[in-house]
Amino acid sequence: MKKPMKVVVTGAAGQIGYSLLFRICAGEVFGKDQPINLWLLERNNETSIKAVRGVMMELDDCAFPLLASLNSTSDPVECFEGADVAFLVGARPRSKDMQRKDLIEANARIFIEQGKAIDQSSNKNIKVLVVGNPCNTNAYIARRCAPSINPRNFTAMMRLDHNRALTQLAQKYDCAVDEITDLVVWGNHGNTMYPDLNQTKIGEKKVADTLDATWYTDNFTPTVAKRGSAIIEARGHSSAASAANAAIDHVRDWVLGSNDQWVTMAVPSDGSYGVPEGLVFGFPCICKDGDYQIVQGLQLTEEQKAGIARNIVALEEERKIVDELIG
Ligand code: NAX
């Protein structure tokens, strides 16, 4: 049996946490031969502490053979000590009348604190996935507050947007999702995101050769970009099981590889495709040997350049707000 790895999940008593934890412990992320020491971070108040205790009782009751140990705390430094992987899910949800700027500021405090704790106590090779919104900018904040960790190790979740785009396309073309390759959602997990089918293939056929431009503009793109709101409208709660599933896909592929397939990951830009260095941006990535590479060498059309540019503007605006807060 392998040595257990330490995995942290924040916001463990929330909706996504409830859909995520049991699948991690069942071996769906790190493999069926990888035991884990699971640490849960929750807020220090009676309701959260009680709720996380209930989740831990259920985890115990599953008798997962891979769950070597289970702990919870409200102290980020204790939680991240020696951590190998962290799912940063916990964040303040956007309330009805809250502006995006207010949400950024409220959540910045959480990710400044957690970034500093990661810097102070985690394994220096920790892999971090930020799910809590605004996830791209929260990952940027945590990365800036953890200067001793390789910036590449701070990523944000755009895999849900990627998966949503896959299914919309598969339904339109009446094909299986795994016949689709080379699809990406560039940019920010927000309204400006750019689902791009220019390179996409179904089997050997290029989608661009038969694409219905009206469907792409009026149906596909808004459906993918506004899916979160449509789910809140229908379900009365935001996406949870599909978000947990995307978090599992993201980290599993990062750790175990994406089999030479493109996956969308929001990662700190290295300047690829003109995206300013450091912005945490959705790129097409290929994962191998526990690492990811941004797909290089794409010849971008004017439409693609414009799709990327609008996301740079959106993320630069957010970066400006948080740079002032981080100092
Ligand atoms: P919930 O409100 O159900 O759960 C959040 C949990 O985080 C709560 O239990 C809360 O006590 C905890 N929490 C808050 N601050 C904390 C802190 N400082 N330390 C530890 N725990 C803390 O939200 P849920 O539906 O689980 O969503 C979590 C986050 O995911 C939200 O920010 C949400 O906007 C975001 N999402 C991101 C998605 C993406 O694709 N990137 C999609 C789904 C989701 O909307």
pLDDT given at position 93: 76
16 CA: nearest ligand 1 atom: 26
Give the nearest ligand 1 atom to 41 CA.
20
33: which 2 tokens?
């031969």
Token pair recorded at residue 176? 């299986």
- Is the CA virtual torsion 238, 86, 88, 264 positive or negative? negative
Query: Residue 311: how many CB atoms within 10 A of its CB?
Result: 23
Contact 243, 160 (CB under 8 A): yes
Q: How many Å apart are CA 41 and CA 315, to the nearest integer?
A: 28
Distance 131 CA to ligand 1 centre (A): 7
Report the catalytic residues: 189
Cα 276 to averaged position of ligand 1 atoms, centre (Å): 28
The pLDDT of residue 275 is 98
Ligand 1 centroid to Cα of residue 10, in Å, is 8
Domain 5-156: what homologous superfamily? NAD(P)-binding Rossmann-like Domain (3.40.50.720)
At the top level of CATH, the class of 159-318 is alpha beta
Supply 209's token pair.
């050769």
Ligand 1 atom nearest 17 alpha carbon? 26
Distance from residue 178's CA to the centre of ligand 1 (Å): 29
Residues of the chain with pLDDT under 70: 96
Tokens representing 116? 């500093």
Nearest CA to ligand 1 atom 27: 16
Q: What is the tens place of the pLDDT at every residue in 33-46?
A: 999 999 999 999 99
**Amino acid letter at 210?**
T
Q: Is 93 in the pocket of ligand 1 (CB under 6 A)?
A: yes
Domain ranges for the chain = 5-156, 159-318
Q: What is the pLDDT of residues 50-59, one digit of tens each?
A: 999 999 999 9
Characterise 66 by phi-psi region: left (phi > 0), alpha (psi -120 to 50), beta (else).
alpha
Report d(CA 306, CA 327) in Å as an integer: 31
